[in-house]
Amino acid sequence: MEKIFFSIVAVAVLSVASFVSCGGGQQKKSKEVVVTNMADNSRTSLNWGGKYTGVIPCADCEGIKVTIVLNPSTYELSYLYLGRQDNTPTQIVGDFSWDETGSIVNLKNDAGIPPYYQVGENRLTQLDMEGNRITGELADKYILAQTAAE
């Protein structure tokens, strides 16, 4: 009888020890850390705000001097046709939006001026009216360089 009592006590002690070492019968929940890594794109990883200038090709003049200032959600655009008698710049102010990739801005306007620009490191590349890259031998003439703030 003593052996049975001793065996019962031993089993009880082992059960309690096992129960305590397992955290009271409850499974320990690990804290899961979820890190959301936003994809790097022009909007999130570049210092895109500021002034951009360049001279783009023109079919019937010496070129078009383009100046674009990008603010947090608005833009200022100036077009000046070089070599023409009327040397008055066209000024447009409006809102812009980013495409879903965060690399192209759409300068909203009703003036028929190309609204799409791809944002790169210290530059804007003008795209065609459908938002596609301009190709051909003059393609590199559609790049506006970011300039220092005045």
Report yes or no on whether pTM surpasses 0.75: no
- Inside any domain, residue 22: no
Domain enclosing residue 88, as ranges: 42-147
Which residue would you say has higher pLDDT here, 125 or 46?
125
Distance, CA of 49 to CA of 30 (rounded, Å)? 43
92 pLDDT tier (thresholds 50, 70, 90):
very high
Are the C-beta atoms of residues 67 and 81 closer than 8 Å to each other?
no
Residue 111 lies in a domain: yes
Answer yes or no: is 16 within a domain.
no
pLDDT surpasses 90 at 98: yes
Residues 6+ apart with CB under 8 A from 77: 66, 67, 68, 69, 90, 91, 92, 93, 94, 107, 109, 113
- Residue 107 is part of a domain; what is its CATH number? 2.40.128.640
pLDDT at 11: 44
Q: Name the average pLDDT for the chain.
A: 81
Q: Pick the residue with more confidence: 41 or 16?
A: 41
